[in-house]
Amino acid sequence: MKQTIATLLSRAIESLAGGELPAETAGIVPHIERTRDPQHGDFATNVAMSMSRVARKSPREIAGLIVAALPSSELVAGVEIAGPGFINFRLAPLARQEEIRSIHATGNAYGRNESGEGQQVIVEFVSANPTGPLHVGHGRHAAYGATVANLLEACGYKVHREYYVNDAGRQMDILAASVWLRYLELGGESFSFPSNGYRGGYVREIAAALRERESSRLHRSSEQVLEGVPADAPDGDREAHIDGVIANMRGLLGEADYRIVLDGGLAGILGDIREDLEQFGVTMDRWFSERGLTESGLVADIIEKLRDDGLAYEKDGALWFRASDFGDDKDRVLVRENGQTTYVASDIAYHLDKRRRGFDTLLDVLGADHHGYVARVRAGLEALGEPGSCLEVRMVQFAVLYRGGEKVQMSTRSGDFVTLRELREEVGDDAARLFYVLRSNDQHLDFDLELAKSRTADNPVYYIQYAHARICSVFRQLHEKDMGWSLTAGLAALHLLAEEHESALMTGLSRYPEVVELGAANRAPQTLVHYLRDLAYDFHTYYNSHTFLVEQDDLRSARLALISAARIVIRNGLALLGVSAPESM
RNA sequence: GCCCCGGUAGCUCAGUAGGAUAGAGCGUCCGCCUCCUAAGCGGAAGGUCGCAGGUUCGACUCCUGCCCGGGGCACCA
């Protein structure tokens, strides 16, 4: 619909450019928006005001020229110049009727568009360290990333969803040690568990599975494990303590068996995360292993390249990347004094790999606490000859759970944190998916558990779903009352729908494609949620003021054609959000 | 100290490239079920868009400074 107006305007401007308006105005793409006040019609453009400087004419004068040059259209009922130079368009009822026909004709594809022009975008999100189950913060990343990916896909982008698995580094060694120690406990050993180890119940489960597979083959005595290990906190140093345990473990088991324990822990946790996400409606196209990046030699390659290009230097026994030459605050270590590469090196290699796989846009969804990471990865990409602008980062602020006005405490220590799985079980997947994207990603989220569970109008999930269920219910009533209807007849009789509530609902429906496009362009799923709430409102008001199942055949069919169009749009919108559209509630 | 996010109605938040009289939900107050689901609908009250400058025909929106809240500034990831 908006497109129709855009086309008319462009034609008018083209015909004027080089004549009554300067030639430069030909290329101007008019900005068109919905009016806020119905008195101003349906759409408005400020194009006359924005070109007044170039055209050296007053906005109202330009508006007059454009309006005069506008091709006539049966979809536009009126055009007027208002205020400082707005051009307002009032749509003919036919335009809204055509949109309802279009909804029925395109069905599940209604709202999809090609604004993405087939650009390849990789959306990396969640990417939580595989050291334990996902918690509620990751849930927001999952819901946000998945919804943005869905929106982009609906706009014709080629989307790839990816989870970067940090399966290298010290925290994996700590995980391996934690699993092994629990395994030893199951074999009858007793000792105090390292304060720095992973204490969650899931570690015991993984240890039990390891026991199942390996029996007592990997058993060693606690004396052997703790031999020469510095004391743990509070008396000693917890880091030194766990490192000592890890070192002994590697020595006692040998590298192959050490790897068996570590991989068992990794596989157990990743399996859990994957299942959790899939049940949450979030499916990754690929789980990209950090370790694989090192093993393939890419990390070594980029380090060598940077060194060869003079973009890395030795200092204090480490190898530093000149990140500050590329806009970062300071230079970054690529290779530590101990010879190990850093996560910065892996991250740069990883993002270069994304580019090599052909992605135009690298969209990273990161926690607010990772914003410092952006400058160094971008610096790395630029140093390797890639445009820094290909990296787009969206921050997700923290989510805080509330239960009846009380903040729910979350602590990652001691393993009593609230997991995503617990949240999903408590409020349900639909409520969780929608609540997570209810607010802008830039905004801290207060997640009210009681509200998410409540079955009242306050709860946007139920409010929207209820509109869908109600429409389905009307069709069930239709059959119970033994009345009939015909979509063809209904679409032919749409001109009968002249009530205020009816045109409001039609206008609401016709906005959907614009909302999808805008939501994708701004990576802003909350736009879609707010829209669906408004649309549900338009429906509920209509429902309350008019009976659909009337005796008059053509009117009944027209109304049912309208509400079934609403059903299609609600269903499509909820699908993008990953929320179900129940037929009854 | 530097960097990132936020500050809009009592509360939680929207606000599309700078546009016309700043919106929604909740809460508060007043109404509506012999009728397709009251998980709903109608109405009312409620604002110095953190503060101060600047840019222009026009600023919640852009720029500068300041105040408040959250987060980050590792040879951890």
Q: pLDDT, tens digit, for every residue of A341-394?
A: 999 999 999 999 999 999 999 999 999 889 889 999 999 999 999 999 999 999
A474 touches strand B (CB under 7 A): yes
% pLDDT > 90, chain A: 78
Long-range contacts of A297-305 (CB under 8 A, 24+ apart): A298/A349, A298/A352, A298/A353, A299/A341, A299/A345, A299/A346, A299/A349, A300/A341, A301/A349, A302/A345, A302/A348, A302/A349, A302/A352, A302/A380, A302/A384, A303/A334, A303/A335, A303/A341, A303/A345, A305/A384
Residues (179-238, chain A) with CB within 7 Å of strand B atoms: none
Structure-model confidence comparison of residues A144 and A196, the more confident one? A144
| Distance, Å, A551 CA → B51 C1' | 63
Number of residues assigned to chain A: 585
Q: How far is CA A548 from the centre of its chain?
A: 37
What is the C-alpha to C-alpha distance for residues A15 and A164, in angstroms, rounded to an integer?
Answer: 52
Q: Is residue A68 part of a domain?
A: yes
Q: From CA A87, how far away is CA A43, in angstroms rounded?
A: 8
Which contiguous run of DSSP H or E holds residue A159?
Answer: strand A158-165
What percentage of chain A reaches a pLDDT higher than 70? 99
Contact between A580 and A430 (Cβ < 8 Å): yes
Nucleic strand B under 7 Å from the C-beta of A289: no
Residue A61 falls inside a structural domain: yes
Residue nearest to nucleotide B17 (CA to C1'): A31
Please say if the pLDDT value at position A412 is more than 60: no
Where among A59, A91, A123 does a domain terminate? A91
Nucleic acid strand B within 7 Å of A56 CB: no
| Statement: residue A415 has pLDDT above 80 | no
What is residue A231's DSSP assignment? P
Dihedrals phi, psi of A101, to nearest 5 degrees: -65, -40
pLDDT value at residue A411: 55
The mean pLDDT value for A476-500 works out to: 94
Distance A548 CA to B61 C1' (A): 43
Residue A53 pLDDT more than 90? Answer: no
- Same domain? A464 vs A573: yes
Residue bearing tokens 């300071």 = A330
For residue A526, the domain's CATH number is: 1.10.730.10
A29 touches strand B (CB under 7 A): yes
Asked whether strand B has any atom less than 7 Å from the CB of A479, the reply is no
Are A83 and A43 within 8 A, CB to CB? no
Please state whether strand B lies within 7 Å of residue A373 at its CB atom. Answer: yes
CB A163 within 8 A of CB A146: no
pLDDT band at A173 (very low <50, low <70, confident <90, very high): very high
Write down the pLDDT at residue A414.
Answer: 42
A413 touches strand B (CB under 7 A): no
Query: At which of A279, A298, A324 does a domain end?
Result: A279
Alpha helices in A280-363 (DSSP H): 290-295, 298-308, 343-356
Is strand B within 7 Å of residue A481 (CB)?
Answer: no
The reply to whether A466 falls in a domain is yes
A46 touches strand B (CB under 7 A): yes
A290 CB less than 7 Å from any atom of strand B: yes
Q: How far is the CA of A443 from the C1' of B51 (A)?
A: 22
pLDDT value for A31 = 86
Residue A416 pLDDT greater than 60, yes or no: no
Mean pLDDT confidence for A81-86: 87
Distance CA A287, CA A300 (A): 21
Å from A284 (CA) to B32 (C1')? Answer: 49
Pairing state between β A318-321 and A332-335: antiparallel
Containing domain of residue A190, as a range?
A: 170-279
Q: Which DSSP state fits A323?
A: G
- Model pLDDT for residues A526-556, shown as the tens digit of each residue: 999 999 999 999 999 999 999 999 999 999 9
- The conformational region for residue A310 under phi > 0 = left, psi -120 to 50 = alpha, else beta, is left
Give residue A18's pLDDT: 83
The predicted-structure confidence for A209-247, as pLDDT tens digits, reads as follows 999 999 999 999 999 999 999 999 888 888 899 999 999
User: Which CATH number covers residue A74?
Assistant: 3.30.1360.70
Claim to verify: residue A465 and residue A573 sit in the same structural domain? yes
pLDDT at A457 over 80: no
d(CA A397, CA A424): 20
Q: How many domains does chain A have?
A: 3
Nucleotide nearest to A318 (CA to C1'): B75
Q: Which of A279, A309, A330 is the last residue of a domain?
A: A279
A464 and A568 housed in the same domain = yes
Nearest protein residue by Cα to C1' of nucleotide B57:
A84
Residue A234 preceded by cis peptide, ω within 30: yes
Nucleotide in closest CA–C1' contact with A48: B19
Interatomic distance A34 CA / B7 C1' (Å): 28
* A161 lies in some domain: no
Beta-carbon contacts of residue A41 (< 8 Å; ≥ 6 apart): A35, A78, A80, A88, A89, A90, A91
How far apart CA A392 and CA A145 sit, in angstroms, is 13
Whether the beta carbon of A82 falls within 7 A of nucleic chain B: the reply is: yes
CB A517 within 8 A of CB A155: yes
* Residue A566 within a domain: yes
Of A307-321, A327-341, A391-405, A494-508, the range with the lowest mean pLDDT is A391-405
CA–C1' gap, A85 and B10, in angstroms: 39
Q: Which nucleotides of B are covered by protein (CB under 7 A)?
A: 2-6, 12-27, 35-37, 39-42, 57-58, 70-77
Taking the alpha carbons of A289, A295, A298, A300 in that order, is the dihedral positive or negative? positive
With H, G, I as helix, E, B as strand and everything else as coil, classify residue A98. helix
Whether residue A131 is contained in a domain is answered as: no
CA A568 → C1' B8, Å? Answer: 34
**Closest nucleotide over all strands to A457 (CA to C1'):** B39
CA-to-C1' span, A410 to B75 (A): 31
Q: Which nucleotide's C1' sits nearest to the alpha carbon of A340?
A: B75
Cβ contact A541 with chain B strand, < 7 A: yes
Q: How many C-alpha atoms does A362 have within 13 Å on its Cβ side?
A: 24
Residue A534 near residue A461, CB atoms below 8 Å: no
Task: Give residue A410's pLDDT.
Answer: 65
Nearest nucleotide (CA of A529 to C1'): B14
SS3 A358: coil
**Does A456 or A473 have the greater pLDDT score?**
A473
Residue A480 belongs to some domain of the structure: yes
Residues 6+ apart with CB under 8 A from A183: A207, A210, A211, A218, A219, A261
Q: Which residue is nearest to nucleotide B27 (CA to C1')?
A: A458
Protein CA A532 to sugar C1' B61 (Å): 25
Domain annotation covers residue A389: no
